[in-house]
Amino acid sequence: MIKNISNLGDAALYCDFGKEVNRETNTQVIKYFKTIRKKNILGVNNITPSYNKLIISFDLKKINFNKLKKVIDNIEITKSDNIQNKKFEIPVCCEKEFSLDIERLEEILNIKKEKIYENFFEKEFFCYMTGFIAGMPFLGDLEENLRAKRLDTPRVKVPKGSIGLTEQFANIYTFESPGGWNIIGNTPLNIFDNSKEKEPNLINPGDLVTFKRITKEKYQNYHE
C-alpha cells in the first residue's frame, strides 16, 4: 500500500515514496505504476512515475480524489509484480564534434577525459524514469567523482542523440531540444520513434543500459 497520498490540485493524486532516491524506492514506484496502469481504472488519464513519486491525473467528470484514493489504497504489490528489466547497449561516438562539454567536465571534475570516458563506459545504468521530452531516459547512477552541475546557461539547441551528464544522472536527448546537461557524445540509435503507435520509446523505467564507444566511421555507417 502507498503510505503517503495527497492531492495535487483537484484532478491528481500525489503519491510520495519517501525522500531517498535509490533503485529500491524507484523500483517500488515502477511496480505501482505498472500495476495501476494494468487495472485501466475508469477516469484515470495519466500516470507519471519519477524517482520517488507517482502522479496519477484523472478526469474530474468521471471520478474524484477521494474515490480514486480508495481504489489506489486497496492496491497491493505482490511478488509476482516483479519488473522485467530489459537490457540495452547504446552505441556512442565521442568525437570532438559530439562531445560538446567534455573539456568543461575535465576542468570542473579535475579528471582527464579518457578517465571520464573509461568510468562512463564501464557503468551499468538503471532507468529511473522517462520524460521531460518524449522518450528521454533518466539513467543513474554516476560515480561520485563524475557528478557535475548543469550548464549555467542552457543551450538553446542540444542535438538529437546527445548523451548528457548532470549530477548522478545520464540522459539521451531524443530530439533536438533546449537543455543544460553536459554533453559527452552522441548516439546514432533512434531512442524514440514517433512513427510507432505502440511503445515508441526504446528505454523504459526499470531497464538497464550500458554504453559502448564507437568510431566516427561506425557512427556514420550505422544502421539499426
Partner 1 sequence: MNKNYFEIIRAGINSTFQDLGRNHLYHIGIPFSGAMDNRNYLLANKLTGNNHNHPVIEFAYQGPHLKYHGSPINIAITGDVSFEIKKGDNLVDGKCYQSFILENNDELDIISTNKSVYGYLAISGTFDLKFQWSSCSTNTKANIGSNNGKKLTTNQKINIKKINQNFMNTKLNYVNTKIENIRVIKGTNFNYFSEEGKEIFFKNEFKVSKLSDRMGMRLEGKKIENIFETNIRSEGLIKGVIQVTADGFPIIMLSDHGTIGGYPKIGVVISADYDKLVQLTPGSRVKFQEVDLNSAETLFKLYDLETQSLISKI
Q: Of 174-213, which residues contact partner 1 (CB under 8 A)?
A: 174-175, 192, 194, 197, 200-201, 204-205
Of the candidates 118, 50, 91, 124, which has an alpha carbon nearest to the alpha carbon of residue 202?
91
Contact between 72 and partner 1 by CB under 8 A: the answer reads: no
Query: Can you tell me the distance from the alpha carbon of 26 to that of 49, in angstroms, rounded to the nearest whole number?
Result: 8
Cβ distance to partner 1 smaller for residue 28 or 201: 201
Count of positions on this chain that bind partner 1 (CB under 8 A): 45
Q: Positive or negative, the Cα torsion across 19, 23, 24, 30?
A: positive
Q: How long is the chain?
A: 224
Cβ distance to partner 1 smaller for residue 37 or 213: 37
Contact between 65 and partner 1 by CB under 8 A: the answer reads: yes
**What is the longest distance spanned by two Cα atoms in the chain?**
58
The answer to whether the beta carbons of residues 17 and 53 sit under 8 Å apart is yes
Site string for partner 1, 139-178 (x = CB under 8 A): -----------------------------------xx---
Contact between 52 and partner 1 by CB under 8 A: the answer reads: yes
- Which residues contact partner 1 by CB under 8 A? 6-12, 14, 21, 33, 37, 45-55, 57, 60-61, 64-65, 129-136, 138, 174-175, 192, 194, 197, 200-201, 204-205
